[in-house]
């Protein structure tokens, strides 16, 4: 009841890319309760994370004062007990901490400094962060966790469609009659989106689920294709082969809106369902049925997640999905479209805001002189490098090579999230100057020279953009604890000390500047967002709530044509052998979020899932002689962890599924740093692993 609370503030859930709108109920200066409200993506719904995952913001581990590493502190990287940090750090005033942070970065200067921003920050914070690295250090060595998430999907979409964002909102599934969900587990990772997918099947829609794990949506599926890990291209090419051979493609659409069709058609001839069935493990008849069903759809959508993107052939996987949609004409109409389900609440917005090494805001290439000068005109500063910057994993290599000596990390946790994480941790330990801005002493902050206490989502103003291209307004419900500050304020104060002369007084000022060089924000103003909570881009007029479907009449590519880019089979990098005979795949689970720094400090979520775990098939457990709940050792060429094993029939007998939220059994000690050549995304979804009873 409203009378029970002092205040109710409308904002956006901080977890997944669905971007559910919420009402934060405040009593005695604390958020006590969260309810769903009528946002365009959630219509009042929330999942367990959105509803119960908020009290980390009041956790007593919150950073409340700037900290500077003590001269006599033990070695960098040792675990800093949040209750006993005094051994490692001393408190400092904001002036001292900011002066120290800025002077350390300035002394190193130029390409010796790199920045990791975050998809957990707002659009304005992401924009300021990339601007600081480009304007302050003259180069593009700035990246964020899109590199570990959908970078390969974006590479394929940019190449073939001309835009990295979704062509249709996920809610458009209500106008579809067939939908494919591949390499995604929305029931756990995009739970509110999953409710729309389930409703679609209840209305008679045919859901085709494709995943090496029997993910939760299988219970609603018309067809569940549990294919061998890493064989996506063979399976998708076989489906497209059937469409070609049986003449099920949409020639009119292909002629009007695409290029390179003949090459694609020719390429697909070899990929017969019979041949590919042996590779992907799905029967030829099933592949034929899926091809006929999708090609025969009045309106079909394709959704995908990190099971598609986190491979060394992640870009090829996405190219196949794009080709499938193009050859069947399933783009640009109600109920038709391509939708990579974004992971973090603002990974779309942080990428749009230019927090990536190859693009300025709105995916404008850094190598284009006109683009750079449009930004330097607004920034009133000199030019910066036309060269693409280094990506997340390349930055860590450059630290090892001694080329990068200083880093500014805002809200990222590479000491947990990077593949082959010991390599990343060694790099962090080598840095001469590491500035970490966060709300907790994260595993990355264990290596920091200075820690700047930042704000949680419920303590700040700013916009975020969800998987649907919906720009939404986040509002503060409570003040940051102690001397913690809003992230945009910290960035501005740091930039002033780098001599950049920034004068922003609010996130609204930053948003106004973003609009000057971001056409995607045309007709979207701060005032509109304050009044309407959400506007979808593109918005065609000040009254238009935004376009849920784009590319109905051509694509933002030469001659308005999308492109078919044929994809061939590339084996995973780290294939099983006699010593490492099984396949390790990593991911999230419903209750925990990414590296766990927030959800493991959320009382309800931690109570439900308190312990690091992996999932194994019953036959595998029997063979190992391990009972469900017993412990196993997982070993790859990179390292070894011990962990509790759960029994799960959804995992095939040659696979281990491992969530990556648990520091005590960090999944990324095991994962392979080999990357996709286009998106530069690591192959988190496939490593050869040995499993032993402990
Ligand atoms: Fe938050 Fe995503 Fe759950 Fe919605 S579906 S409440 S955005 S975690």
pLDDT of 82 reads 83
Give the CB-side neighbour count of residue 648, counting CA atoms within 13 A. 19
Q: Ligand 1 pocket test: pick from 49, 464, 465 the residue with the most ligand atoms within 8 Å of its Cβ.
A: 49
Q: How far is the CA of 344 from the centre of ligand 1 (A)?
A: 10
How far apart CA 118 and CA 462 sit, in angstroms, is 14
Ligand 1 nearest atom to the CA of residue 13, by list position: 1
Copy the structure tokens of residue 294: 């999708």
Average pLDDT score over residue span 113-129 = 97
Q: 3-class SS at 155?
A: helix
pLDDT of 214 reads 87
Q: Ligand 1 pocket test: pick from 23, 36, 47, 589 the residue with the most ligand atoms within 8 Å of its Cβ.
A: 47
Reply yes or no on whether the pLDDT at 159 is more than 80: yes
Q: How far is the CA of 515 from the centre of ligand 1 (A)?
A: 28
Q: Ligand 1 pocket test: pick from 50, 457, 588 the residue with the most ligand atoms within 8 Å of its Cβ.
A: 50
Question: CA angle at residue 418 from 67 to 438, to 5 degrees?
Answer: 25
Copy the structure tokens of residue 616: 């194994």
Q: Is the ipTM of this complex over 0.95?
A: yes
How far apart CA 390 and CA 427 sit, in angstroms, is 15
Higher pLDDT, 392 or 225: 225
The protein residue with its alpha carbon nearest to ligand 1, atom 4, reads: 20
The protein residue with its alpha carbon nearest to ligand 1, atom 1, reads: 50
The protein residue with its alpha carbon nearest to ligand 1, atom 3, reads: 47
Could you tell me the pLDDT band of residue 594, with boundaries at 50, 70 and 90? confident
Instruction: Residue 466: name the closest of 111, 18, 4 by CA.
Output: 18
pLDDT of 106 reads 98
pLDDT of 248 reads 98
Q: Are 587 and 660 in contact (CB under 8 A)?
A: yes
* Residue 117, φ and ψ in degrees, nearest 5: -90, -165
633-644: per-residue pLDDT in tens?
999 999 999 999
21-67: per-residue pLDDT in tens?
999 999 999 999 999 999 999 999 999 999 999 999 999 999 999 99
Residue 112 CB–ligand 1 contact under 6 Å: no
Ligand 1 nearest atom to the CA of residue 466, by list position: 7
pLDDT of 626 reads 98
Predicted structure pTM score:
0.96
Ligand 1 nearest atom to the CA of residue 22, by list position: 6
Reply yes or no on whether the pLDDT at 83 is more than 90: no
300-353: per-residue pLDDT in tens?
999 999 999 999 999 999 999 999 999 999 999 999 999 999 989 999 999 999
Residue 16 CB–ligand 1 contact under 6 Å: yes
What one-character-per-residue DSSP string does 522-571 give?
A: TT--HHHHHHHSEEESS--STT----SB--BTB-SSGGG-EE--------
Reply yes or no on whether the pLDDT at 570 is more than 90: yes
Q: How far is the CA of 13 from the centre of ligand 1 (A)?
A: 6
Instruction: Residue 655: name the closest of 628, 616, 694, 624 by CA.
Output: 616
Residue 53 CB–ligand 1 contact under 6 Å: no
431-487: per-residue pLDDT in tens?
999 999 999 999 999 999 999 999 999 999 999 999 999 999 999 999 999 999 999
């Amino acid at each position: 009841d409203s009378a029970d609370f002092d205040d109710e503030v409308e904002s956006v859930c901080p977890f997944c890319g669905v971007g559910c709108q919420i009402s934060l109920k405040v009593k005695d200066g604390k958020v006590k309760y969260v309810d769903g409200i009528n946002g365009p993506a959630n219509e009042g719904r929330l999942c367990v994370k959105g509803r119960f995952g908020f009290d980390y913001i009041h956790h007593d581990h919150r950073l409340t004062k700037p900290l500077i590493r003590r001269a006599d502190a033990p070695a960098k990287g040792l675990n800093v007990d949040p209750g006993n940090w005094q051994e490692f750090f001393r408190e400092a005033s904001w002036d001292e901490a900011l002066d120290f942070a800025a002077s350390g970065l300035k002394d190193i200067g130029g390409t010796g400094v790199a920045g990791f921003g975050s998809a957990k920050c707002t659009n304005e914070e992401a924009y300021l962060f990339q601007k600081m690295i480009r304007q302050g250090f003259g180069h593009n060595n700035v990246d964020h966790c899109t590199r570990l998430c959908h970078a390969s999907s974006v590479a394929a979409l940019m190449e073939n469609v001309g835009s990295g964002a979704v062509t249709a909102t996920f809610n458009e599934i209500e106008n579809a009659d067939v939908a494919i969900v591949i390499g995604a587990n929305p029931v756990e990772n995009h739970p509110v989106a999953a409710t729309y997918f389930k409703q679609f099947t209840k209305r008679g829609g045919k859901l085709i689920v494709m995943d090496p794990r029997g993910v939760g949506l299988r219970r609603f599926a018309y067809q569940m294709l549990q294919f061998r890990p890493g064989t996506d291209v063979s399976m998708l090419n076989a489906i497209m082969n059937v469409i070609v051979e049986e003449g099920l493609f949409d020639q009119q659409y292909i002629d009007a809106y695409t290029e390179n069709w003949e090459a694609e058609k020719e390429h697909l001839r070899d990929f017969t369902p019979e041949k590919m069935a042996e590779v992907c493990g799905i029967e030829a008849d099933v592949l034929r049925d899926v091809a006929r069903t999708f090609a025969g759809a009045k309106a079909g959508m394709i959704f995908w997640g990190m099971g598609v993107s986190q491979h060394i052939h992640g870009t090829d996987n996405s190219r196949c999905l794009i080709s499938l949609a193009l050859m069947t004409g399933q783009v640009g109409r109600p109920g038709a479209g391509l939708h990579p389900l974004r992971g973090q609440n603002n990974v779309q917005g942080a990428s749009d805001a230019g927090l990536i090494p190859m693009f300025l805001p709105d995916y404008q290439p850094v190598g284009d002189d006109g683009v750079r000068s449009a930004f330097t005109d607004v920034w009133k500063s000199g030019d910066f490098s036309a060269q693409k910057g280094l990506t997340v994993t390349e930055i860590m290599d450059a630290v090892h090579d001694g080329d990068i000596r200083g880093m500014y990390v805002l809200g990222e946790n590479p000491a947990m999230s990077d593949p082959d994480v010991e390599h990343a941790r060694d790099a962090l330990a080598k840095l001469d100057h590491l500035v970490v801005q966060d709300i907790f002493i994260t595993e990355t902050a264990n290596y920091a020279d200075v820690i700047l206490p930042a704000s949680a989502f419920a303590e700040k103003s700013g916009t975020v953009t969800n998987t649907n291209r919906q720009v939404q307004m986040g509002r503060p419900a409570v003040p940051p604890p102690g001397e913690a500050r809003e992230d945009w304020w910290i960035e501005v104060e740091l930039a002033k000390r780098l001599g950049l002369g920034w004068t922003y007084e609010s996130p609204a000022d930053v948003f106004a500047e973003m609009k000057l060089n971001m056409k995607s924000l045309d007709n979207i103003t701060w005032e509109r967002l304050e009044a309407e909570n959400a506007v979808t881009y593109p918005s065609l007029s000040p009254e238009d709530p935004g376009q849920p479907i784009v590319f109905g009449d051509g694509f933002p590519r030469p001659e308005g044509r999308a492109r078919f880019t044929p994809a061939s089979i590339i084996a995973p990098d780290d294939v099983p052998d006699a010593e490492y005979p099984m396949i390790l795949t990593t991911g999230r689970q419903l209750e925990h979020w990414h590296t766990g720094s927030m959800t493991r400090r959320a009382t309800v979520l931690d109570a439900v899932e308190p312990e690091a775990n992996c999932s194994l098939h019953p036959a595998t457990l029997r063979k190992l002689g391990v009972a469900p709940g017993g412990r196993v050792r997982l070993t790859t060429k990179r390292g070894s962890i011990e962990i509790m094993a759960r029994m799960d029939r959804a995992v095939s007998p040659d696979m281990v599924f491992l969530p990556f939220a648990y520091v005590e059994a960090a999944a990324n000690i095991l994962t392979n740093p080999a990357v996709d050549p286009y998106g530069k995304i690591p192959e988190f979804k496939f490593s050869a692993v040995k499993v032993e009873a402990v």
